[in-house]
A and B are shown apart, each in its own frame.
Chain A
Amino acid sequence: MKKAFAIAGLVSVSLLTAACSESGSGAENGTVGISMPDKSLERWEKDGNNMVTELEGLGYDVDIQYAQGETQTQSEQIENMITKKVDALIIAPVDGSTLSDPVNLAANQDIPVIAYDRLIMNTENLDYYTTFDLVTVGEIQGQYIVDALDLDNTDESFNIELFGGAPDDNNARFFFEGAMNVMQPYMDEGQLVVQSGQVNFNAVATESWSASNAQTRMDNLLTGHYSDEDIDAVLAQNDAIAQGVVSSLVSMGYGSDSRPMPIITGQDAEVSSVNSIIDGNQTMTVFKDTTALAKAAASIVDAILTGEEPEVNDTESFDNNEKVIPTYLLDPIAVDVGNYQEILIDSGYIDSSDVE
C-alpha cells in the first residue's frame, strides 16, 4: 500500500510540475496537435516553438509532443492526440515511411493531417505538405558560384571542388542534384574544372555532414591536386562542411592577398558560418527560414479549420506513392556579406550580439 501511495504521489507531483510549466490557454478555435521528431536537436525545438507561437496567435490551443527520434513513439503520440480529438494534426515525421497507419486513423476521425518538412509516404489520407524546395537549395548554391565567377561573361576557366552531404541522407542527393543542374553545362564547356575528377555524389559525399571529414578530404585534395594550381570555388552543401573546408584552406595558406579564399557556399545560416562570412572566409550560406515554414503550416491549418481553401503552390511534384500531395513550397534565400544584416539580424533570426 505504501508503495502504491508513494508512486501515486511521485507521479502526481511530477505531473503537476510538468503541467505548471505549460501555459494554460483556452481553446477558442480548437486544438492543433503537433508531432515533432526529436527534442534533442535544436532545429526541431525551434520549429516547434515557432509553430506554437503562430497557432496560439491565431487563437488555437496547441498540443505539441516530441518523439525522441523513435518511430514507434511518434505513432503512439499521434494516436493519443487523435484519441484526445485534436482538430488538426501537423506532423514532422521521424521517418516518413512509417506513419501511414496513424494518418489513416486520423482520417477515420475526420482529422486533417499536414506533413511538415518531410513527406509522409504511402497514404492517401495526407491532406497537405509544406517544405523547402530542396533542389532549389542546391541550385542557389550553384548559381551563386556561377554568378560570383561571372562565367557568362568570360571564357576563362576556374578550378572547383565539390562537397556533398551525408550519403545516407536522402535530402543530400536532392541538394547535389540541384547544384549540378546549374553547374553541369559549365563543366561540360570546360569553364569549371574539377581537378580531382571527383564529380559523382558517392565520391564527393561527406559522411554524417561532418566538418572534420570535410576538412580531411579538403586537405587531401589540396595536397594531391592543387600544389601548382589555385582553387577558385568550393561547393560545400552545408555550413558544417564549409567550416571544415575553410579550416583546411587556412592551414594551407589561403586567405592572404596573394592567395585569396575561393568562393565557398554553405547552407543553414549557422551563427559560426555567418561570422565566417563577415570575416571573409566563407562566401555565402543558404538560409531556410524555418519561421516562415512554421507560419506556412499554421496558415494551412487555419484555412482548413475555418473552411477556406489553403494556399498551395505545387500540385504535381510530391507523390507519396498513393497520391500527389498539394504542397506549399518555400524558397530558400542566398545570404552573403551584402545582405546578412537585413535577412538574418534585422529579422531577429540571429541576435546581433552573436555576430561581432
Chain B
Amino acid sequence: MQTQEAVKNSGLNKEENSIRNSAKKFLVNNSMYILLALIVILFQILTGGILLLPMNITNVILQKSYIFILTIGMLMLVLLGDIDLSVGLVLAFTGALSAVLIIENNMNVYLAIFICLLVGLLIGAWHGFWVAYVHVPAFIATLAGLLTFRGLTIVILDGQTISSYPRAFQLMSSGFLTDAFTDNPFMLTLGLGFIFVALYVFMSIRSRMKDLKFGTNTESNTRFILKITAFSLAILWMFYTFGNYEGIPNVLIILTKLGLAAKFITDRTTIGRHIYAIGGNEKAATLSGINTKRVKFWTFASMGVVSAIAGMVFSARLNAASAQAGSGFELDAIAACYIGGASTSGGIGTVVGALVGALVMALLNNGMSLTGVGTDWQMAIKGLVLLFAVAIDIYNKNKG
C-alpha cells in the first residue's frame, strides 16, 4: 500500500515536474506575448477603454508603420549578429529623394517609387560591401552611413522641408484598401478577414500534415488547435476593428506582405537557414560551405530596400520630407528585435517575435500618450522596459 502510494507519488511528481517544465518553457518562449497582453490590459484600463477603440488601433498601425517596417529588415541583420545604425537616415534620405523627384520635379509617382527603391538597394549594397567583403564592423560601416546620409539629406533638401505630395503618393500611408470600392467598409473588411483566416487555417493544417508525415512535429494536438483558434480570433478581431473605422489601412497591407515575405525567407528557405547558421557560429557556417560573404551582402542590401520603403511610407504620412527626419528610428527598430526575443549575439529570433516587440513599444508609446504621460517620462519608461525585458529574458534562458 505504502509502496504503491510512493510509486504513485513519484509518478505524480514527475508529471508535475514535466508540467512545470513545459509551463516554464512556454513562458520563456512566449514572454513577449504575455508582455503585450499585460500592456494591452493595463492601458485599456488606464485609458478608460480608448486603447482598443477601432480608431486608436488604426492610429497605432499608421503612427508606427515605419518602425514596424524597419524592424522586419533589422531582424534579419540581428539574426546575423549585426545591426544597422544608418536605417533612420537612409529612411530620411530616400524620403527626401522621393520629395525632390515627385514634388519638385513632378516625376510620375510610380517611377519615383521605383527609383527610390533602387537607391535604397544601392545604399544597402554599399554597406553590405564594406561589411561583408572588407570586414569593416557593421557598427562602424553603418555609423559612417548614418553621418553620410544625414549630410546628404540636408544637401538634397537644401535644409528645407518640402511638402504636399500628390494624393496618389499620400495614399500609401493614409489611404485605406476599401476606399476605392465602397463607402461602408465594414462588410468588405470582415469578409476579407474570413478569407484570410480560412487561408491561414488551411496553410497551418497543410504544413502540420506534412510535418506529421515526416515525423518532425513536436506540438501536441490540443496545443495546435488552441494556437490556431487564438490566432484566428485575433485576426478576425483585427479585421472587425478596422471595419468599424475606415477599413484596412494600405500601409498594413505593405507591412503584412513584407512580414510574410520575411517569415517565409527565415523559416522556409536555404538563405534563411544560412542566416541563422551564420548568426549562431560564423566560422562553423563558413567551414560547412555557406557563402557567408554573399549572405551578409544581400542581407544588408535588402535592409536598404526596406529602409527605402519605410522612408516613403514615413514621408507620405507626414506629407512632407524634412531634413530632421529619421534620427533615433534605428534604435526603436533594434530595441523591438530584442524585446521580441532576438539574441544580441545573433542566431536566435523570429520575425513575428520582433513585430510583437515593435507592437509592445508602439502600444507603450500610444498608451502613455493617451494617459497624458509626457514625452520625457515616456522615454525614461521605454528605456527601463527595454533593459528589464532583455535582462529577464537572458536570466530566464540561462536558468532554463
B-binding residues in A (CB < 8 A): 1-8, 10-12, 14-15, 18-19, 22, 39, 63, 65-73, 75-77, 79-80, 83-84, 95, 97-98, 100-101, 121-122, 168, 321
- Asked whether B174 lies within 8 Å of A3 as measured between CB atoms, the reply is no
Known: A11-B42, A66-B375, A76-B63. A1 touches B385 (CB 8 A): no
CB-nearest residue of chain B relative to A40? Answer: B376
User: Quick check: B55 and A83 within 8 Å, CB to CB?
Assistant: yes
> For B42, what are the chain A residues with a Cβ–Cβ distance below 8 Å?
8, 11-12
Evaluate contact between B375 and A65: CB separation under 8 angstroms: yes
Q: Do B318 and A98 touch across chains, with their CB atoms under 8 A apart? A: yes
- Residue B269 lies at the interface, judged by CB distance under 8 Å to chain A: no
Verify A66–B380 contact, CB threshold 8 A.
no
Within the assembled complex, what's the spacing in Å between the Cα atoms of A63 and B372?
Answer: 7
Tell me the complex Cα distance, A122–B164, Å: 7
Report whether B319 and A11 are in contact in the complex, using a CB–CB cutoff of 8 Å.
Answer: no
Closest beta carbon of chain A to B339's beta carbon, Å: 10
Q: With A6-B388, A71-B318, A79-B59 given, is the CB distance from A11 to B325 under 8 Å?
A: no
A5 — which chain B residues lie within 8 A by C-beta? 38
CB contact list, B307-329 vs A, under 8 A: 314, 317-320, 322, 324-325
Q: Contacts of B59 on A, CB cut-off 8 Å?
A: 76, 79-80, 83
Q: In angstroms, how far is the closest chain A Cβ from the Cβ of B333?
A: 14
Of A4, A10, A18, A39, which contacts B31 at CB under 8 A?
A: A4
Could you list some 21 contacts between A and B, CB below 8 A? A1-B27, A2-B396, A3-B31, A3-B389, A10-B381, A11-B364, A11-B385, A14-B380, A39-B375, A65-B372, A66-B374, A71-B320, A72-B325, A75-B318, A76-B365, A79-B59, A83-B50, A84-B370, A101-B174, A101-B318, A122-B163
Neighbouring B residues of A100 by C-beta, 8 Å:
163-164, 319
Nearest CB in chain A: distance from B317 CB, A: 7
Q: Which residues from B are CB-within-8-Å of A10? A: 381, 384-385, 388
Which of B's residues lie within 8 Å of A, judged by CB? Answer: 27, 31, 34-35, 38-39, 42, 46-47, 50, 53, 55-56, 59, 62-63, 159, 161, 163-164, 170, 174, 314, 317-320, 322, 324-325, 364-366, 368-377, 379-381, 384-385, 388-389, 392-393, 396
Bound complex: CA A83 to CA B389 (Å): 29
| CB–CB A7/B38 < 8 A | yes
Complex CA gap A67/B380 in Å reads 15
A68-B375 CB under 8 A given contacts A6-B388, A7-B38, A101-B318: yes
CB distance from A78 to the nearest CB of B (A): 10
The 10 closest A-B pairs by CB, nearest first: A3-B392, A97-B163, A98-B320, A4-B34, A98-B318, A80-B369, A8-B38, A18-B373, A83-B56, A76-B63
Contact A19 B371 (CB under 8 A): yes
Contact of B320 among A19, A77, A79, A95 (CB under 8 A): A95
Indicate which residue in B159, B319, B366 contacts A98 across the interface (CB closer than 8 Å): B319
Nearest B residue (CB) for A69: B324
Set of chain B residues within 8 Å of A65, measured between Cβ atoms? 369, 372, 374-375
Give every chain B residue within 8 A of A67 (Cβ-Cβ).
Answer: 375
The CA-CA distance from A80 to B379 in the complex, in Å, is 17
The answer to whether B317 and A101 have CB atoms under 8 Å apart is: yes
Give A190 to B371 CA distance when docked, in angstroms.
62
How many angstroms from the CA of A80 to the CA of B322 in the assembled complex? 22
Residues of B close to A22: CB separation below 8 A: 372
Q: Is the CB of A84 within 8 A of B38?
A: no
With beta carbons under 8 angstroms apart, the residue of A70, A83, A97 that contacts B161 is: A97
Does more than half of chain A's interface fall in helix, strand or loop, or is it mixed? helix
Q: Judging by beta carbons under 8 Å apart, are A76 and B389 in contact?
A: no
List of A residues within 8 angstroms of B381 by Cβ: 10-11, 14
Residue of A nearest to B360 (CB): A7
Cα–Cα distance between A329 and B174 once the two chains are bound (Å)? 34
Report which of A15, A39, A83 forms a contact with B371, defined as CB distance below 8 A: A15
Chain A: minimal CB distance from B368 (Å): 7
Are A98 and B322 closer than 8 Å at their CB atoms? yes
Give, as a whole number of angstroms, the nearest-CB distance from B122 to chain A.
26
Q: Is the CB of B39 within 8 A of A11?
A: yes
Q: Are the C-beta atoms of B34 and A1 separated by less than 8 Å?
A: yes
Bound-complex Cα distance A11 to B42 (A):
9
- Complex Cα–Cα for A77 and B371 (A): 11
From A2, A15, A80, A122, give the contact of B319 (CB < 8 A): A122
Assembly CA distance A297 to B369 (angstroms): 23
Tell me the bound Cα distance from A97 to B321 in angstroms. Answer: 9
Q: Which residue of chain A is the closest to B57 with respect to CB atoms?
A: A83
Contact between B372 and A83, CB atoms less than 8 A apart: no
**Shortest beta-carbon distance, A96 to chain B, in Å?**
9
CA distance A63 to B366 in the complex (A): 15
Q: Given A72-B325, A83-B50, A84-B370, 19 other A-B contacts at CB below 8 A?
A: A3-B396, A4-B38, A5-B38, A7-B39, A7-B388, A15-B368, A18-B372, A19-B371, A63-B372, A69-B324, A71-B318, A72-B317, A77-B375, A97-B161, A98-B163, A98-B322, A100-B164, A101-B319, A168-B159
**Inside 8 A of B318's CB, which chain A residues have their CB?**
71-72, 75, 98, 101
Residue on B nearest A4 in the bound complex, by CB: B34
**Known: A19-B371, A68-B375. Is A4-B35 also a contact (CB below 8 A)?**
yes
Q: Which of B56, B63, B318, B377 has the most CB of A within 10 A?
A: B318
Tell me how far the C-beta of A224 lies from the nearest C-beta in chain B, rounded to whole angstroms.
30
Give chain B residues whose Cβ lies under 8 Å from the Cβ of A11: 39, 42, 364, 381, 385
CB distance from B290 to the nearest CB of A (A): 34
User: CA A83 – CA B54 in complex, angstroms?
Assistant: 10
Chain B residues with CB below 8 A from A73, complex form: 375
CA distance A81 to B63 in the complex (A): 13
CB distance from A200 to the nearest CB of B (A): 19
Q: Separation in Å of the A25 CB from the closest CB of chain B?
A: 12
> Which residue among B38, B53, B62, B368 has the maximum number of chain A CB atoms within 10 Å of its CB?
B38
Contact B388 A3 (CB under 8 A): yes
Within the complex, what minimum Cβ distance (angstroms) separates A321 from chain B?
7
Contact of B322 among A3, A19, A71, A83 (CB under 8 A): A71
Which of A63, A65, A79, A80 is most buried by chain B, counting CB atoms within 10 A of its CB?
A80
Q: Which residues of B contact A79 (CB under 8 A)?
A: 59, 62-63
- In angstroms, Cα B31 to Cα A52, docked, is 41
Q: Find out whether the CB atom of B322 lies under 8 angstroms from the CB atom of A7.
A: no
Find B392's partner among A2, A18, A76, A95 (CB 8 Å cutoff). Answer: A2
Does B320 lie within 8 Å of A97, measured CB to CB?
yes
CA distance A83 to B369 in the complex (A): 11
A75-B369 Cα distance, complex, nearest whole Å: 12
User: Closest Cβ of chain B: how far from A62's Cβ, in Å?
Assistant: 10
**Which residues of chain B come closer than 8 Å to A7, judged between CB atoms?**
35, 38-39, 385, 388-389
Query: Which of A4, A39, A83 is B53 in contact with, Cβ under 8 Å?
Result: A83
